[in-house]
Chains A and B, each alone.
Chain A
Amino acid sequence: MRVTDEQMALLRAYLAGQAEQAERARVLVARSGDVEGAAALVYAAFAIMARRKFSPTWTRAEIIRFTGQVRALLSDQPDLLDPLAAEHQLRGALGEKLTVYPGEEAKARAQVVLLDALVHDADLDDAAIIDLLSQARDLAHRLPVNSG
C-alpha cells in the first residue's frame, strides 16, 4: 500500500498534537482522494506501537485494563472509543486470531485513538515519532489492501 508524504505529515502532526498542521494535512489528503494509504499508515503505526508495549508476552487482562485506562482519560467523550473494538484491534495486532470483527468505523477509530494513546504512553519525542512513522511507512508498503 503506497503512503504519500502528505499522509505522513498528517499523522505526524496528529501525533504531535499540532492541530492546525494536522487539519491542513487532512485537507490535502482528503483532496487527493487516497484515504487507503492513510488508513494503512495508521494501522501499521498502531501495530508497531502495540507490539512495543505488549510483546512478547501479554494477557487479555492487560489489554482490557489498558483500554479502560485510555477510555477513562477520555471519559468526557465516553462513546469515542468502543471498548470491545479497541480490545479486538489490540489483540489482533498482537497476533491473536479472532473470529468476530467490529464495524469499519469502530475499528478505524480504535486504531487512531489507541495509536495516540500508545505514543503518549511511550512518551515519544518528535524524533521518535518520525522514526516510528518511517517504520510504519515501510510496513504499510508491505501490507496487502484492507489488511487493517
Chain B
Amino acid sequence: MAVTDEQVSALRAQLAGNAAEHKRLFAQLDRQGDALGYSALVNAAFFEAVDRRFGKQNTRADVIEFVADVRSRFDEVADEVDPRSAERVILKVLGTGSTDDIDAQTSMTAKLYLLAAIIADEHLDDTGLDDFMAEVRKSANYLLS
C-alpha cells in the first residue's frame, strides 16, 4: 500500500488553508480504503512539522504555550482540541512520554489542528508546500511499507 495522489491533494488543500477544497477532496476519499494511507500521511506530516518547529527547542513550557496559542486562534479549535492531549502528542514526537491512553479520534483531531497551525506559521509558498508534501509522502510510504 502507498499514499495516493488524492490523499496528498486532500491534506495539501487543508494545509494551504483552502477549507472548501479540502472538504470536497476529503469527501471523495473512501472511508475504509483510504483510512490507513491518509492516517499515515497525517502522522508523517505531523512528525515532520513538529520536528521543524520544536526540534531544536523543545521545552515542555514551549509546547504548553504553543498549544494555548493554537487554541486561542479560533473558538472551534479551543472546543475541539484537548490541551493536555495536544501537548502530549507533540511531546511524544519529541521523545517524551506516551500517548497510549489517548483515543485515536482525540489524537488525530489534535494532530490535524496543530499541523495546520505549524504550517500556517511557516508561511510556505506553493513550492514550499509541495516540497513539504513530497517529503512527508515519502515518510508515509515508508511507514506503510
Q: Chain A: residues with CB nearer than 8 A to chain B? A: 60-62, 64-65, 67-69, 71-73, 75-76, 78, 82-84
B77 (CB) vs chain A CBs: closest residue: A64
Q: How large is the interface on B (under 10, 10 to 19, 20 to 34, 35 or more residues)?
A: 10 to 19
Given A64-B72, A64-B78, A75–B59 Cβ distance below 8 Å?
yes
B61 near A73 with CB under 8 A, answer: yes
B87 near A61 with CB under 8 A, answer: no
- CB proximity of B20 to chain A, nearest CB, Å: 25
Given A75-B59, A78-B64, A83–B83 Cβ distance below 8 Å?
yes
B72 near A72 with CB under 8 A, answer: no
B68 (CB) vs chain A CBs: closest residue: A68
Can you list 12 A-B pairs, Cβ within 8 angstroms, ordered by A? A60-B78, A62-B72, A64-B68, A64-B71, A64-B72, A65-B68, A68-B71, A69-B65, A72-B62, A72-B68, A75-B64, A78-B60
B64 near A65 with CB under 8 A, answer: no
Given A78-B87, A83-B84, A68–B69 Cβ distance below 8 Å?
yes
For residue B67, CB closer than 8 A to chain A, the reply is yes
Complex alpha-carbon distance, A71 and B62, angstroms = 10
Complex alpha-carbon distance, A76 and B72, angstroms = 23
